[in-house]
Amino acid sequence: MTATAPQTSPRKRASNGTARRIDADEIGLDALVGHAGYAVRRFQIWIFQDFIRTLGAVDIRPTQYSVLTVIGANPGLSQMAVAKRLGIERARLVHLLDSLEQRKLVKRVKSKADRRSHALHLTVQGETALAKFKRLAAEHERHVEAKIGKENRAQLLRILAGFT
């Protein structure tokens, strides 16, 4: 597991006592290669970076996109319902919605049925914007496909279908 290929790039003690550079690709990961979590984490970081870059022009991040999508598909949901469904802390969702409401994408409507809660809706502007975000997100998804392969992406979705 301990890689020691002969290369050039940080510094390492050589047989003659002088130092040479070590390339990142010759540093062994040892037990990490057997951990799904390590690869999944690195992959997730890559995906988010691509998503943020691809939707950079509209300034929408993954969590914001997921909130808008769920509200768009389920108008009238309460904040608690959205938070639970997406695994976001309700305290965190307050700030996310503050931002989306300031941008006139979402509106909080006082619920008549339960006056403690807010019914969440997209604004007309929000509907239009979300349609654009979805086109960009689809473009991002094609980047994923290009990165790991169409068939592998499909298998990944199948394997992880339970984590929704």
Q: Least distance (Å) from DNA to the CB of residue 80?
A: 3
7 and 21 Cβ atoms separated by less than 8 Å: yes
Task: Give the separation between CA 50 and CA 68, rounded to whole angstroms.
Answer: 19
Q: Which two tokens stand for residue 94?
A: 């307050």
Q: Least distance (Å) from its own copies to the CB of residue 160?
A: 4
Q: Which two tokens stand for residue 149?
A: 């392969």
**What amino acid is encoded at 65 in this protein?**
Y
- Single residue of 10, 56, 75, 149 touching DNA by CB under 7 A: 10
Quick one: 95 or 160, whose CB is closer to its own copies? 160
**Residue 28 touches which of its own copies, DNA, none (Cβ within 5-8 Å per kind):** its own copies
Contact set for DNA, span 76-115 (CB under 7 A): 78-80, 83, 88-92, 94-98, 108, 114-115
Helical pair 150-159 and 124-148, crossing angle rounded to 10 deg: 110
Quick one: 115 or 158, whose CB is closer to DNA? 115
Distances in whole angstroms, Cα of residue 29 to Cα of each of 6, 14, 23: 17, 21, 13
Quick one: 101 or 141, whose CB is closer to DNA? 101
Q: Least distance (Å) from DNA to the CB of residue 6?
A: 19
- Single residue of 30, 38, 39, 49 touching DNA by CB under 7 A: 49
Q: Least distance (Å) from its own copies to the CB of residue 146?
A: 12
Q: For 86, phi and psi rounded to 5 degrees?
A: -100, 0
